[in-house]
Amino acid sequence: MHEDNFILNAARLNLSEENIAALRKIPKKNIDWPLFERKAFAHGVDTFIYYSLKNNNLSELIPPETYKRFQEQYYEVAYQNSVFLEKVDKLSAIINDKIVLLKGIDLTQSLYPNIAIRSMVDIDILVENGKEYDIWNKLKQNGFKDLNVYASKSSVHIPAVPTPSIQNPNDLNAERPHHFPGLDDESCHVEVHWNIFPEFSNLTDKAWENAVLLNSNRKIYRLSIEFLLLHLCSHFWCHNCQQDASLRQLCDINELIIKHINSLDWNEINTICLNKEFKKRVTSTLTYSHVLFNTTVPENFIDEEFIKRNSFNFDIFLEGMSKSHFSTYQTTFRSINRTSDKIIFIFRTVIPLKDWINAHYQTHSRIELLKAYFKYWLYLFNSHLFKRKMHLGN
């Protein structure tokens, strides 16, 4: 499809002559621009496309109204990411131990040339195994609240009831074996991880040991390039299995390899990937990136049989995102074990906590709060039952 071809050639930091030629060759009249926008936004690559078109003076290749919407989102991401970066200082002030930044909050600073290119929905941090429980509860004691315990950040934004402080990490839902329920303050969501390689915790230990300082703050670290690549691959593989992977995740992998093409230690990566199952996960992800973005990858990390079996139409990534909101709600409901929690979950879905409403609708008075509840109920009714496109919040 022309929309896919345009996105794959434009969602890059640096456009090659081949990319530019391919973009100019696509007839504008043959592109379904509303579909193009929906795909770009759904995959989180609208900001990449705006950046590359702007830098290469190619804005005329897309309709002005589309370019304007991408531009607005670009600056919105810049603002939101600046808020997230400020929150890192707050986390550092609360947590006295080493913190390893993961995914977007790291990549925004270490990989991308400015904070507007790579959007993110939360701050993911890795803490030392054994200290996660104390750190998670310390954040709760310092203004963070677990308002979305049962709602998946990648599905529908259904508010849920806060739970008491966890007394034992083993009490966590079995579906979340590597991080605690997310915490929210007024403007961001934080997830505390103690394992970034589900089923392969020994690799997390090695990643922790090899983490490097991100900046002058002696507490803030980032994964080494090799472990960062492996984590991004593992993360994509997990989401792809759940059918909610996105091109943005492959953009991260592609840009990371391009930037560190001469320093990336593939011998070390081979050594880390001794487990056949883990290497299979990494190989399938790198094969996706190689096919869709022409990423330079060693031959032993490209699965030719996998290529033959797959069409690599990236619409399949969106199958999980396109599920009925109500069916996603049902899945979440079924994942809750205790009857009392199920009842509270239903109640809080219909009548969310005031703090949650305030955070999403920025209310400042009782009248605004009441109006916000009506807005939320309208969103809930239309978006979750009739699947009409509506946005949560103002």
Query: In this predicted model, what pLDDT tens digit does every residue of 191-240 receive, in sequence order?
Result: 999 999 988 889 999 999 999 998 777 889 999 999 999 999 999 998 88
Q: Alpha-carbon distance 360 to 394, whole Å? A: 7
pLDDT of residue 175: 42
Residue ranges in the chain modelled with pLDDT below 70: 147-177, 316-338, 341, 359-360, 383-394
pLDDT of residue 150: 38
Give burial (CB, 10 Å; 0-12/13-18/19+) of 315.
middle
Q: Strand locations in 166-273, DSSP E?
A: 183-184, 189-193, 212-213, 220-222
Dihedral over alpha carbons 379, 383, 388, 390 (to 10 degrees)? 50
Q: Which pair of tokens denotes residue 275? A: 């487990």
pLDDT 10s digits, 142-172: 988 875 443 333 333 333 333 333 344 444 4
pLDDT of residue 383: 65
pLDDT of residue 19: 96
pLDDT of residue 22: 95
Sign for the CA dihedral angle at 382, 349, 345, 103 comes to positive
pLDDT of residue 317: 67
pLDDT 10s digits, 242-252: 777 899 999 99
pLDDT of residue 98: 94
Q: Alpha-carbon distance 223 to 234, whole Å? A: 14
* pTM for the predicted model, two decimal places: 0.76
pLDDT of residue 186: 75
